[in-house]
A and B are shown apart, each in its own frame.
Chain A
Amino acid sequence: MISTDSEHRGGAKSGHCPARAYRGELKPTWCAGCGDFGVMTALFRAVGAVGRPAHEIAFVSGIGCSGQIPGYSAAYGFNSLQGRALPIAQGIKIARPELLVLVVGGDGDGASIGGGYLPHAIRRNPDLTYLVVDSGGNGKTDGQFAATDPSARGGELQRGALEALENPILFALTYGANFVAQGLTADLDGLSKMIEDGIRYPGFAFINVKSPCLGCGDLEMQVLLQKAKMRKLSSMGHDSSDLERAIKIAREDGDSLHAGVFYRNPNPPATFGSKVKELKQRPAKAAAEAVG
């Protein structure tokens, strides 16, 4: 079993590992050119940089294409239910704080059915990293409209949408998330670095990843659009400790696709795990005492 009781996964046992050490044996069944390939590569690189052994990682997902990522890793995986990955992951993290817990899901998971779980994960602040693979559409069922911005998949498919869009970055910032970033599959190096930063951040880290999807439209065009609209926050001189500015930039996202860390609270508040640990500092009772 695990010997370390260090809650934070950026802790003592880390040391660089090659990304392939986290790659499982199964071959992905994604469409050729799917953004999930890039997301997975960036993820494994980031996990490799942190260096925790695969058996100390619990990798939780919802459903759909991005939900398959845990199945392609050598870590422990839990491919669960649409939208419920966050509460499942929090249960794992609270039960075994020493694990590195990663959550991945699509924009349906994160912005639609599971959208209600995000504020609660944010206010609890468990030490886990949540990656939303945002294609802006329902790819698996033929590209129907989703809650998030579809502009990166081309204008053609936007006709007919009656609802306004949800802005996941703004959503996370407004609810008080302490680490909020957006990555693009067109910038894998940037993406894997920000995932690594998210993992190392002591608390809940939210990362939205714009990812092309064949089911949502022309792949080539989506890649071109990503490249054309990409604006790196670092080159804009954005100071990631500036929450006001982060919110301002997030409101403009869509016209440009911003890549980088929007906000990183320089004074990370206590995590849920540390508070739970405090509650346990009471006189211990043996199970048999429960009979009364």
Chain B
Amino acid sequence: MQGLVIGLVGAEGDGIRATGQSLIGALAREGYFGLLSTRNGARPIGGESSCRLRAATTAVLNPGGAPDLVLVHNWDAYRSLAGELPIAAGTVVIHEERAGNPPATGPFWEVKPAAAVPAPFEELAEKSSGVQDAKVEIVLGMLSVWLGLSAKRVSGGIASRFPGLGAAALKGKQRAFSLGATYAENNPLPRDLKLDPLAAPAGDRRVADGNEMCARAALFSGCKFFSGHPITPATEAMLYLQREIGSYGGSFLEAEDATAGAAAALGASYAGIKSMTATSGPGFSLQTEVLGLASVAELPLVCLNVQRGGPATGMPTRQEQADLFAAAFSSHGDTVRPILAPTNAADSFDVTVEAFNIAEHYQTPVVVLSDQEIAQTKAIIEPIDPDRFDVVDRLEPTRAELKDYVRFEASESGISPISHPGVKGGNYLAAGFEHDERGTPTLNGEIHARMNRKRLSKLDPLKGRRDLFVSEGDPDAQIGLISWGNVAGIALEAARTALSQGIKVKILVPRLLYPVADEVYADFFKSLRRCVVVEQSHQGQLHKILRMWMSVPREFTSVSKSASNRISPLEIVQLIRAMEQPANDSFKSHYCDLLNVL
């Protein structure tokens, strides 16, 4: 097979996470591509959990559709996480023998799987080492055979996973792996799910998630200060920087709340240091006053907002794209702050470097709008070539300019040289209060209008950044998709599938969400009679923002789902097919049925 989706579900002690991570590590070593998303039930530690691993011989754009293989350790765990791994007619289910037979009908699956076969995970684990915690190795042994992976590479990960483990215990684990492999050899799957061998040897790929890639990009960009408050699902970005930033000559502050996190980062930026904060929805709501201050004081600041289901506490461990309105509009007064959205883990690196560059060049806060799916999904990533990137620093005043320094001096670009405490002659007042070019506080309406114009129009060149958009498909197509964030990977795959089936369609993926790059969209809209924005929120927030700023095609529609409801590439292919039909009432009802929304 060129690719497949594997699901693992179990309760505490079944080693679901460990199994998934070992497997994706082995796939990376082998040279395959893959994505691993992990879900917990309500309990933060322990309790039920699931893994969805999509593996393929070519780049994987999204977590995929219905699983080909699901390993169930525990039926209650599956019941609680069934939405993650919906069974389809082709799915093979392997379940713990001791858990008994799966129910024939009911809440477990609406569609009958291709097969539901028992396997003695627990019994083999006991046999191998006398304890159940060898289940991970038993399952890895089975999967290495069933998927056709190198036993050496898969089992090779065991020793590195337990660096402190004694020789005897390690031997027990290796024995478990062999027992699992032997079992699989004697019990082939009812469907062949072996991955195709790779045509060419892979480069030095590694497994990382979006949070790690944002953090790495920050260090790469010269970020020397991070402050933030832990919050799901952004915490890993903070933890990575906490661990690493000192080695790069930077400092870290675990702030008492998200506001303080943004405020301290803004303080560091005022002191002339590239800085960043990271948060998720509830923290982002708190930070908006700091972002407003950064806009008026014209100070660079990168704010990573890893979206989760909202509003308020919402659904902390589930993905959603419903913070776009908040990112664009949530501070009082006239502000425009650039918003960038990565589409996957590797892209998180590029987008974050871009965010730092834009923040520093334009002296503005920039929001990186990641989401739980991108941030916490482990992905197999190609090596990053550092020479691909320029790193931009803020414009500093010259010696001549420091003789009579005017901090907010009018310039054609709207960008004025910025000094920082410690620079002799560069002394100025940064203020939330409106001010003139010298930073002098004012209540004068003319000055306010002039400074508003400076602060807003300096960002106009961003709208011409075509490099921040991905466009694919038939340029003359009459139907088109727009999609962003993690959903873009789903839409992109669907568009490619539709194109390969001879359907004339095109797709636009903005990584710059705000300000709205009107010319880029206008060009895209030219040939379109029908356009759908595919995203994940109840309101379809990008769709609404585009309607606010753009003349849109006659049939310009939103297809959007609330948090935690996966959209599969197949659903979007069906949507594209429906879009191809002549205009009639059934179009709307057709895709509404498809996605069960609106």
Contact = CB atoms under 8 A, between A and B. Distances in A.
B90 interface: no
Contact of A92 (B247, B349, B421): B421
B43 to A, nearest CB: 29
B430 interface: yes
Contacts of A88: 263-264, 266-267, 270
Interface in A42-76: 53-58, 60, 63, 68, 70-71, 74-76
Contacts of B420: 76, 96
Contacts of B251: 94-95, 276, 279-280
Interface stretch (A79-87, A142-150, A214-222, A242-250): A79-87
Nearest to A95: B268
B384 interface: yes
Interface residues on A, range: 35 or more
A165 to B, nearest CB: 24
Nearest to B443: A29
B432 A79 contact: yes
Given A55-B426, A99-B421, A283-B247, A120 B267 contact: no
Nearest to B429: A77
Nearest to A280: B246
B246 A78 contact: no
Given A55-B424, A91-B266, A285-B248, A292 B208 contact: yes
Contacts of B427: 54-55, 74-76
A119 to B, nearest CB: 8
A91 B275 contact: yes
B222 A287 contact: yes
Contact of B253 (A26, A55, A77, A94): A94
Nearest to B222: A287
B271 A77 contact: no
Contacts of A162: none
B206 interface: yes
A23 to B, nearest CB: 12
Nearest to B225: A95
Interface stretch (B149-157, B212-220, B335-343, B586-594): B212-220
B363 to A, nearest CB: 15
Contacts of A164: none
B286 to A, nearest CB: 10
B264 A291 contact: no
Nearest to B221: A287
Nearest to A71: B429
A110 B257 CA distance: 16
Contacts of B255: 87, 120
A96 B421 contact: yes
Nearest to B220: A290
Contacts of A120: 255-256, 260
Given A95-B271, A291-B386, A117 B256 contact: yes
Interface in B353-391: 383-386, 391
B272 to A, nearest CB: 7
Contacts of A291: 216, 220, 349, 383-386
A92 B256 contact: no
Contacts of A280: 246, 249, 251
A2 B266 CA distance: 20
Interface in B195-246: 206, 208, 216-222, 224-225, 227, 244, 246
Contact of A91 (B257, B263, B391, B423): B263
Contact of B267 (A1, A68, A91, A292): A91
Given A79-B441, A81-B432, A91 B264 contact: yes
Interface residues of B, number: 64
Contacts of A93: 267
B421 A87 contact: no
Contact of A96 (B259, B422, B441): B422
Contacts of B222: 287
B325 interface: no
Interface string B125-147: 00000000000000000000000
B303 interface: no
B273 interface: yes
A226 interface: no
A25 to B, nearest CB: 9
Interface in A231-271: none
Contacts of A94: 225, 251, 253, 264, 268
Contacts of B227: 87, 91
Contacts of B329: none
B113 interface: no
A56 B247 contact: no
Contacts of A76: 420-421, 426-430
A208 to B, nearest CB: 21
Nearest to A72: B429
Interface-central residue, A55, A68, A71, by most chain B CB under 10 Å:
A55
B259 A87 contact: yes
B293 interface: yes
A149 to B, nearest CB: 26
A290 B219 contact: yes
B422 A1 contact: yes
A284 B247 contact: yes
Nearest to A70: B429
A288 interface: yes
A7 interface: no
A4 to B, nearest CB: 10
B563 interface: no
A84 B287 CA distance: 11
Nearest to A53: B424
Interface in A79-133: 79-81, 84, 87-96, 98-99, 116-117, 120
B271 A96 contact: yes
B423 A279 contact: no
A290 B391 CA distance: 13
Given A276-B251, A284-B249, A92 B263 contact: no
B76 interface: no
A87 B432 contact: no
A276 B248 CA distance: 13
B290 interface: yes
A87 B426 CA distance: 23
Contacts of A159: none
A283 B248 CA distance: 9
A26 B297 CA distance: 19
B384 A56 contact: no
Given A55-B424, A88-B266, A287 B219 contact: yes
B433 interface: yes
Interface in B387-402: 391
A99 B422 contact: yes
Nearest to A90: B264
A279 B441 CA distance: 40
Interface string B391-415: 1000000000000000000000000
B289 interface: yes
A195 B428 CA distance: 23
A181 B384 CA distance: 55
Given A55-B424, A292-B208, A91 B268 contact: yes
18 contacts: A26-B440, A26-B441, A70-B429, A71-B440, A76-B421, A77-B429, A90-B253, A91-B268, A94-B225, A94-B268, A96-B422, A279-B246, A279-B251, A284-B247, A285-B219, A287-B222, A290-B218, A290-B219
Given A2-B422, A99-B422, A282-B247, 6 more contacts: A78-B431, A81-B290, A87-B261, A116-B257, A287-B220, A291-B384
Interface of A: 1-2, 26, 53-58, 60, 63, 68, 70-71, 74-81, 84, 87-96, 98-99, 116-117, 120, 276, 279-280, 282-285, 287-288, 290-292
Top 4 A-B pairs ranked by shortest CB distance? Answer: A91-B267, A91-B264, A95-B268, A290-B219
